[in-house]
C-alpha cells in the first residue's frame, strides 16, 4: 500500500532529529548513535523510493498524454504502453511501503531510547525540558502525518480517475472518443501537478531533516 508513508517518513526523521543530545548514559548514547545511523540509511532509501515513484508517475502521465494526443497514429500501441506504465507505478508504490516499514522499525527503536533517556535524567529542570522537546516532536509528527494523509488522498484520487479514463478508452479508442475526453484529461493533468507538488513538499522536508541528522565533517 502507498498509505502514504511519505508523511510518516518525514515525521520519523524530524522526531529523531530533535533532542538526540539528551541521552543520559553511555549505553543509551552508544545505542542512540547506531540507531541514528540506521535511521539515516533507511530514511534515505525511503526518499529514493518516493522520488523513483514520482518519476514513474510522470512516465505514466506521458504515456497517457500520448494516447490522448491528436497526432498519435497507433493509439492501440500507445494504450498498451500506458497499461504497462500503470503496472510499474503500482510496483513502485509497493516498494515505498516496504522501505517505510523498515524505517519505522528503526525510528520506533530510537523513539523508545529517547523516552528512556529522558526518564533517566536526574535534574528535574533538564528532564522537564527534555519532556517538552519530546512533546513538541510528537506534535510535529502529528502535523506531518496529516501532510502524508493529504498526499495519499491526492494519489488515490489521481489513480482512481486515471483508471476510469483507461477503462473508458479501453472500449473506445477512436478519435471522437478521445476528443470527448479532453476536458476530463485536462483535469487529470491538473491533479497530477498537485500530486507532484505534494510529493516534493514531503521529500524536501525529509531531506532537510536527514541532512540535519548527519554528523558534520
**If we measure between CA atoms, which residue out of 40, 7, 22, 215 comes closest to residue 129?**
22
Grid coordinates of 70: 491528436
Q: What is the gyration radius of the CA atoms in the chain, in angstroms?
A: 22
pLDDT at 23: 38
* Mean pLDDT along residues 4-10: 53
Q: How far apart are CA 82 and CA 149, in angstroms?
A: 27
**If we measure between CA atoms, which residue out of 29, 49, 7 comes closest to residue 209?**
7
* Mean pLDDT along residues 114-118: 81
pTM of the model: 0.76
Domain boundaries, the chain: 5-213
Q: 70 phi and psi, to 5 degrees?
A: -60, -30
* Mean pLDDT along residues 196-213: 79
Helices (H) and strands (E) in the chain, counts: 6, 0
* Mean pLDDT along residues 134-157: 67
Q: How far apart are CA 1 and CA 98, in angstroms?
A: 9
Q: Which SS3 state, helix, strand or coil, does residue 53 take?
A: helix
pLDDT at 213: 64
Kindly report, residue by residue over 32-90, the tens digit of the pLDDT.
678 778 877 888 888 888 889 899 999 999 999 999 999 999 999 999 999 999 999 99
Mean pLDDT of the chain: 79
Amino acid at each position: 500500500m502507498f498509505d502514504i508513508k511519505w508523511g510518516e517518513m518525514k515525521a520519523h526523521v524530524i522526531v529523531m532529529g530533535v533532542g538526540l543530545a539528551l541521552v543520559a548514559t553511555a549505553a543509551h548514547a552508544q545505542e542512540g548513535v547506531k540507531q541514528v545511523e540506521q535511521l539515516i540509511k533507511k530514511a534515505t532509501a525511503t526518499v529514493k523510493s518516493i522520488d523513483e515513484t514520482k518519476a514513474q508517475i510522470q512516465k505514466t502521465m506521458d504515456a497517457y498524454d500520448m494516447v490522448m494526443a491528436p497526432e498519435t497514429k497507433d493509439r492501440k500501441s500507445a494504450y498498451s504502453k500506458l497499461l504497462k506504465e500503470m503496472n510499474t507505478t503500482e510496483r513502485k508504490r509497493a516498494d515505498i511501503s516496504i522501505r517505510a516499514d523498515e524505517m519505522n522499525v528503526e525510528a520506533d527503536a530510537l523513539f523508545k531510547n529517547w523516552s528512556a533517556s529522558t526518564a533517566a535524567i536526574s535534574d528535574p529542570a533538564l528532564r522537564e525540558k527534555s519532556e517538552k522537546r519530546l512533546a513538541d516532536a510528537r506534535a510535529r509528527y502529528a502535523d506531518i502525518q496529516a501532510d502524508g494523509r493529504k498526499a495519499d488522498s491526492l494519489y488515490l484520487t489521481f489513480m482512481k480517475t486515471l483508471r476510469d479514463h483507461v477503462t473508458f478508452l479501453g472500449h473506445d479508442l477512436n478519435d471522437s472518443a478521445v476528443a470527448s475526453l479532453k476536458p476530463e484529461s485536462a483535469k487529470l493533468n491538473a491533479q497530477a501537478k498537485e500530486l507532484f507538488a505534494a510529493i516534493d513538499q514531503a521529500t524536501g522536508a525529509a531531506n532537510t531533516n536527514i541532512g540535519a541528522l548527519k554528523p558534520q565533517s
